[in-house]
Amino acid sequence: MDNWQPWLRLHLTQGLGRGALFRLINHFGSPQAALEKRGEWVRLKGLRRDLAGQVPSETDPRLEEGLHCMQQCQAHLVTFWDPDYPPLLKTIPDPPALLYVRGILAAAGRRLAIVGSRRPTRTGLAWTEQLAAELSERGVGTVSGLARGIDGAAHRGSLAGSGETIAVLGCGIDRIYPPEHAELFRAIAEQGAVISEYPPGTDPLPGHFPGRNRIISGLSQGVLVVEADCNSGSLITAEFALDQGREVFAVPGGIDRPTSRGTNQLLKDGAHPVTERDDVLGVLWPGYPDKNRVDVEPQIDEALPQSAQDVLRQLDTEPRNIDELAGKTGLTPMELSVILLHLELHGKAEALPGACYIRGSSALFH
């Protein structure tokens, strides 16, 4: 913990940004040396003349609080100059100098960033969880921003598949945002890593999130946008990905859905379309996917009546209207209503507005 104090003192210095921190370390060789030779800072180009006077003292309450917070959070620092700093992240135009980490941040690995709408469709949520779980089973981790909607679904899917997932925050490592993701936050820290470039105590301010997005794409070989409107922050992540030389993927959606406008535009602009796991694997890691795999129909509970099994086979993550189900199964609307209610009560079907149904969560991944 003591060796982090010099880094934290520099990071808490008002007016000392990433560029200045890089100049100091590259010139003096270490944070301790930079602090001991503050009188020489005025000789460095690009640094404010009064910057050395802004460094907090060793007894500054902010410093003590920051170190105490890291200890309480069981967090640690990874710096740009450490051997375990992710090498892929070093290649971006403006890499973070410091990363506060909760959990284990592996230096390298197969990773896909998955981002999207905070208000996605039910189909988008279920599909994202399933894709992330399937990727994790193939050794591909996910990176996202712990936000509501698609981000959370990506993290949950990787956790379900016992794979690595990394959450990049737009606030301090001690802040859980959004607060309803507290349990997910802790699970990610146990199975993967929660990281931030902001010092402990930093609030989740709007201006922090674009910078957070460059780290999400920077840690990954590619970025997948599942659902996004035209003004979505997810498209900013896609722009960072292009600037960083990463592959961009998008999930096509219905032309009548607002959350498909951004993804469909990405596809027009040349993004790789994705409807299944191998669409990602085949682009990023050619030869890695099992080209000879056979898709297996989801298992059906044999204890269900034959009519209920027939209905369940017609349900997937795409909404099916009750009239469509009636035509597929030959059942009357009255018979269907009874069967669907039974499936709902057992979590095998989920009702949507407009007399539509999708496969329920207890049957989705069987």
- Per residue in 143-179, pLDDT (tens digit) is 999 999 999 999 999 999 999 999 999 999 999 999 9
pLDDT of 294 above 50: no
Place 360 in a pLDDT band, splitting at 50, 70 and 90.
confident
Q: What is the pLDDT of residues 243-278, one digit of tens each?
A: 999 999 999 998 888 899 999 999 999 999 999 999
- Residue closest to 56 by CA, chosen among 102, 104, 8, 2: 8
pLDDT of 290 above 60: no
101 contacts 194 by C-beta, under 8 angstroms: yes
The token pair that represents 270 in the structure block = 């040349």
Q: What is the pLDDT of residues 38-65, one digit of tens each?
A: 999 988 988 888 899 999 998 899 999 9
Give pLDDT, residue 200: 92
Place 354 in a pLDDT band, splitting at 50, 70 and 90.
low
Q: What is the pLDDT of residues 2-41, one digit of tens each?
A: 588 999 999 999 999 999 999 999 999 999 999 999 999 9
Q: Is the whole-model pTM more than 0.85?
A: no
- C-beta neighbour count of 67 within 10 angstroms: 16
- C-beta neighbour count of 199 within 10 angstroms: 21
The CATH code of domain 306-364 reads 1.10.10.10
Delimit the CATH 1.10.10.10 region(s) of the chain: 306-364
| CA of residue 181 relative to chain centroid, distance | 13
Give pLDDT, residue 145: 97
**What is the CB-side half-sphere exposure of residue 295 using CA atoms within 13 A?**
5
Delimit the CATH 3.40.50.450 region(s) of the chain: 111-284
Mean pLDDT of 219-236: 94
Give pLDDT, residue 302: 66
**What is the CB-side half-sphere exposure of residue 165 using CA atoms within 13 A?**
33
pLDDT of 295 above 90: no
Mean pLDDT of 237-247: 95
Give pLDDT, residue 346: 80
Percent of the chain with pLDDT over 90: 66
Give the chain's mean pLDDT. Answer: 89
Helix, coil or strand: residue 115: strand
pLDDT of 317 above 90: no
The token pair that represents 57 in the structure block = 């003292």
Residue matched to tokens 């059942």: 331
The alpha carbon dihedral of 318, 323, 326, 332 has a sign of positive
- CATH label, 111-284, candidates 3.40.50.450, 3.30.930.10, 3.40.50.720, 3.30.70.20: 3.40.50.450
DSSP string, 159-221: HHTT--EEEE-SS-TT--SSGGGHHHHHHHHHHSEEEESSPTT----TTHHHHHHHHHHHTSS
Give pLDDT, residue 293: 41
The token pair that represents 277 in the structure block = 């796991």
- Residue closest to 220 by CA, chosen among 199, 237, 196: 237
